Amino acid sequence: QVQLVESGGGLVQAGGSLRLSCAASGRTFSTLTMGWFRQAPGKEREFVASISGSGGRIRYADSVKGRFTISRDNAKNTVYLQMNSLKPEDTAVYSCTARVGYDSGTYDLTSGYPYWGQGTQVTVSS
């Protein structure tokens, strides 16, 4: 089992920045592909970003490319999501996810990740 705990959400004005963190435990962190998904009210959960265990493979949703950066510190068992130039449409509950290994066919699918954090609210005001 993998336990995931997110932190760093909050309220920010449009154009501002936030950094989310997700601490993982229960498995050797470097073996885990980590991802971030988000779910806005009334919408389906959507992929935001993912990073492989070594950090060599990084993927982003088109809606956040150039504004968000995913990174990881394997020594601290933590993955980060730096969010810049935030927009009101980025408002959502952001969830950290994990899976063992990397799958190029499912990195952006909720079904590709068996482990999920509880989520953290990000609210961007206009």
Nearest CA to 79 out of 43, 40, 115 is that of 115
| CB 70, CB 50: distance < 8 Å | yes
CA distances 121 to 8, 38, 40, 69, 94, Å, are: 9, 9, 10, 18, 6
Which pLDDT score, from 0 to 100, does residue 20 have? Answer: 98
> Where residue 24 falls among pLDDT bands split at 50, 70, 90?
very high
85-122 pLDDT, tens digit per residue, is 999 999 999 999 999 988 888 889 988 999 999 999 99
Which pLDDT score, from 0 to 100, does residue 103 have? Answer: 85
